[in-house]
Amino acid sequence: MAFQILLNFFIAIVWMFLSSSATATTFVIGYLIGFILLFVMRRFFTERLYIDRVWAAFKLTVIFIKELVLSNISVLLLVIRPKLDLKPRFFALPTELERDWEITLLSSLITLTPGTVVVHVSDDQRVLYVHAIDADDVDDAIHSIKNTFEKAIKEVSRP
């Protein structure tokens, strides 16, 4: 991915030299031309075209902001309820992610989703231990949320 972006920059700079004008407009035009070239040549790369992963990262950001707002509203409703009837509980969540940054990202996302805080990552990085604030309605919902997050992260990190 880094190689493709670098190549695209390189093509843009070559375009600036060819048209012998060092302005931002020329750079943008060169970058677009370079992107079209990369798109045409896409079957020579071993990885996906980098715009795919950029788009996946953008979708992950949108999911993240949505979950942040939802989790705040749920904490608000929980806190201002006149009678506190929580069933806090710990549970284990097996994960298929392998690299360190993926697991860090997943646990940050889980910490900012409704009703869950990551307490511990197991030493072999296969299981996350999560504290849920309200046990009975959460379990299924949480697993579906985890699937969407894990899937979105995999979508970003797949080469």
Partner 1 sequence: MTVIANTLIVISILVGLVFTVVAVVGIIRLPDVYTRAHAASKSATLGVLSILVGVFFHFWLNEGHFSVKILLGILFLFITAPIGGHLMSRAAYVSGVKPTE
Residues that bind partner 1 (CB under 8 A): 68-69, 71-72, 75-76, 78-80, 84, 86, 88, 90, 107-108, 111-112, 115, 117-120, 131, 133
Q: Which is nearer to partner 1, 4 or 107 (CB)?
A: 107
Q: Report residue 130: phi and psi, to 5°.
A: -120, 140
For partner 1, the closer of residues 11 and 97 by Cβ is: 97
CB of 42 vs partner 1, minimal distance in Å: 32
Q: Nearest approach, Cβ of 19 to partner 1 (angstroms)?
A: 30
Name the helix (H) or strand (E) containing 84: none
The pair of structure tokens assigned to 50 is 């980098």
Contact at 8 Å (CB) between 149 and 63?
yes
One-letter amino acid at 56 equals: A
Taking a C-beta distance cutoff of 8 angstroms, is the pair 118, 130 a contact? yes
Q: In sequence order, which residues have a C-beta less than 8 Å from that of residue 59 and are 6 or more positions away?
A: 152, 155
Which CB, 55 or 90, lies closer to partner 1?
90
Nearer to partner 1, 17 or 101 (CB): 101
Least distance in Å: CB of 132 to partner 1?
9
